[in-house]
Amino acid sequence: MCGILAVLGCIEGSQAKRVRVLELSRRLKHRGPDWSGIYQKAGFYLSHQRLAIIDPASGDQPLFNEDRSIVVTVNGEIYNHEQLQQLLTNHQFRTGSDCEVIAHLYEEYGEDFVGLLDGMFSFVLLDTHDNSFIVARDAIGITSLYIGWGFDGSVWVSSELKGLHDECEHFESFPPGNLYSSKSGGFKRWYNPPWYNEGIPSTPYDPLVLRKAFENAVIKRLMTDVPFGVLLSGGLDSSLVAAVVARSFLSSKVSKHWGPQLHSFCIGLEGSPDLKAGREVADYLGTIHHEFQFTVQDGIDAIEDVIYHIETYDVTTIRASTPMFLMSRKIKSLGVKMVLSGEGSDEIFGGYLYFHKAPNKEELHRETCRKIKALHQYDCLRANKSSSAWGLEVRVPFLDKEFINVAMDIDPEWKMIKPDQGRIEKWVLRKAFDDEENPYLPKHILYRQKEQFSDGVGYSWIDGLKEHAATHVTDRMMANAKFVYPHNSPLTKEAYFYRMIFERFFPQNSASLTVPGGASIACSTAKAIEWDAEWSKNLDPSGRAAVGVHASAYDAPMPNSGVVGKASSKLINKKAKMVDVSNPGLTVST
């Protein structure tokens, strides 16, 4: 991931302004430690902090068209850049960068070219013929992006809040799948697939079609000129990513960077579920596996740095970001600059615990649509910023545009969780990779109960955070929380503790408004309460709830899995004893 910062149409075009833009751009250097670049024309500045993944030698930014009249600064990867170049036979490319194609596509197609891009991206493009500009963000919001407005009529764009929050009267998160045009002076949606409007699809489930779409999504993300690996917690999603990469590794040109074996990475407290499961999957796939252990105190010591980098006070995001932040530093120290990860699967397939209570397929589908639309505020934000803090790029094949189209076009009746039929959460995904003749994963891994990342790294992690927060936030402070923080008022001491740190780094009202919901909604979604009112009693936002649902969901045998449901129930109940006894409604997440 790179860092971009643009100031567009400011009154001042002086050397002092250039120095200030460079100063602000340096706040993003962690995202791109390999090179820095800036373009200036009058009151327009496009700056770039580069993480070199493709064409490290010549792909420095900003990038230009042939006569340098079109300027672009990009954060991300364009996976179909070679195919797009074939559409541009009359253009000369000066670098091997996958992002250079953007400038030439604009010349040919104008603002409408964005829909041709297949990848994760945020970019600013300046047309110096009339000083018009466009800003765009990828379909789901995998890359982070913010936009702000100055008193002088200028528009500011930055990969992170810290690049613009001191300079803008108002700023906000740039909406995914949108384009901002100076000509129209506003946003317009460029990404509008059928699922986005929440209509109920009716395509029959075909496991082979789903499998092939996911394999394609993974393989296209092996585009790299630097060493890479996979994050491997041993859960279903990361294990499937690793399995597909492992099968493709030897046949892909990327293996030349690290030899014939794939590298995998996992983090957890000593004895954590993820460390054990990750090691087992790594042994099965034959990866060179790297385990990183941390302590609760290590995580607590990192909390301020984590909040500064991920720019949120959302409780579940901070809990999960901290181990990922620590792991990313270790991975980068090994010389790795890119990893593949499993974000997005739970949102697409209804993998969270409360989906057990979905009353019908219509409700389930609409909720998956809503969850995908919110990913840029939660899991995408976590994955992007936790890793970018150390100059590491994370690619997420489950959020591939084509794969989402296939997965979200399946009749949601197939995604309904039906324990009496052996259909547990994400059954359609598990079944697609349940290959008897050439197994992708062992059965018990393919049908492993989901762990929320912040639980999988060790059950004492969250409890340690709560205990630490309780020593810093008093009952009197909590009594006044709604007055001190009237927007997204914290309902727990842990939430209050994070909010204090966030406000110290980002005191502006606009900054607090970029965080949705805070800790106020149990199980991170109002639907959980709507489908089961009991969950409204749980102030913990993580989804550590409803052990009864979890146990009953696994009473039935899982078809062809070799895993008996009641045995899983006993394991779940055993785990439930490990959580905070002060809140008996809490248990391990699914």
Report the catalytic residues. Answer: 2
CA atoms within a 13 Å half-sphere pointing along the CA-CB vector of 397:
29
What is the gyration radius of the CA atoms in the chain, in angstroms? 23
Report the sign of the C-alpha dihedral through residues 181, 183, 187, 192, in that order.
negative
Backbone angles phi, psi at 182, to 5 degrees: -70, -25
Query: How far apart (Å, rounded) are the C-alpha atoms in residues 280 and 113?
Result: 45
Token match 């790299």: residue? 224
Annotated binding site for L-glutamine: 98
What 8-state DSSP symbol labels residue 140? Answer: S
- The string of DSSP letters for 262-301 reads -EEEEEESTT-HHHHHHHHHHHHHT-EEEEEE--HHHHHH
Helix (H, G, I), strand (E, B) or coil at 5: strand
Annotated binding site: 98, 231, 267, 341-342
- Mapping DSSP onto H, E and C, the string for 466-501 reads HHHHHCCCCHHHHHCHHHHCCCCCCCCHHHHHHHHH
- Within 10 angstroms of residue 110's Cβ, the number of other Cβ atoms is 10
Q: Tell me the pairing of strands 146-149 and 170-173.
A: antiparallel
Q: Which amino acid is at 394?
A: V
Give 215's contacts (C-beta < 8 A, 6+ positions apart).
244, 248
Beta-bridge mates of residue 50? 35
Helix (H, G, I), strand (E, B) or coil at 89: coil
Strand intervals (E) in 356-486 = 393-395
Assess contact for 262 and 287: CB atoms under 8 A: yes
Assess contact for 460 and 297: CB atoms under 8 A: no
